[in-house]
Structure 1
């Protein structure tokens, strides 16, 4: 894991796995729910990203099961994934705080609330 900011889909996938292990389609559904449908991961993109996150050591396979003759693989965060998600969450919180301070300062300078 580098110190570079995470791409939003990566952040959202790790966030989906922070609560509990999930299979790929459940990750897709949770990301859509978290973003109000704004971010919709495609299956091909998701599985390539899950493979990359496994290679980077941020997630691992929790367990597998067969459902309707198809293998369903569940993923979970690793300790490194949890640290990476926490670091990115703190970075985003800091950036949001800067934006809020600047907006408050702008409205104090120009008077009134935002439109």
Structure 2
């Protein structure tokens, strides 16, 4: 069975967790950093993505701690999640390569201003 493409939020959350286990706020911050501020997930979107990734076995709870009387749950990427992120990264790289090649063939500047 072929995996369907990851949504951008799911891709970015997995990318954030590929570095280290993070709690929700840490994920929000890292997603913004990875995307250079272009993607700013809302908490509701983040926790929907987290629930889906947990259900699919792509991430799991790493540990929990209490900070200022509130439970902070950390998540980590699983081996299945790392494999899925790797495949998705390769798929996106292939697409970007074709787009870059076609743009260059027609004299467009890659990464330049419009």
Give the TM-score normalised by structure 2. Answer: 0.91
The CA RMSD measured in Å over matched residues stands at 1.4
Q: Which moved more, 1:80-89 or 1:36-45?
A: 36-45
Residue 64 and residue 9 in structure 1: after superposition, are their counterparts in 2 closer, same or farther (change >3 A)?
Answer: same
How do 1:45-60 and structure 2 match up within 5 A? 45-60=45-60
- TM-superposed CA distance for 1:64, in Å, is 0.4
Runs of 4+ in 1 over 2 A off after TM superposition: none
In structure 2, distance between residues paired with 1:54 and 1:35: 23
What does residue 65 of structure 1 align with?
65
- State how many pairs are aligned: 110
* Equivalent residue, structure 2, for 1:81: 81
The Cα offsets for residues 74-102 of structure 1, whole Å up to 9 and x where unpaired, read as 00000110000000000000001001110
Secondary structure at the residue paired with 1:45?
helix
Q: Distance in 2 between matches of 1:30 and 1:2?
A: 29
- Report the equivalent of 1:24: 24
Greater radius of gyration (CA): 1
Q: 1:2 to 1:64 in 2, by over 3 A?
A: farther
> Post-superposition shift, 1:2?
4.9
| TM score, norm. by length of structure 1 | 0.90
**Mean alpha-carbon deviation: is it higher for 30-39 or for 14-23?**
30-39
Unaligned runs of 5+ in 1: 108-112
Moved more, 34-43 or 10-19: 34-43
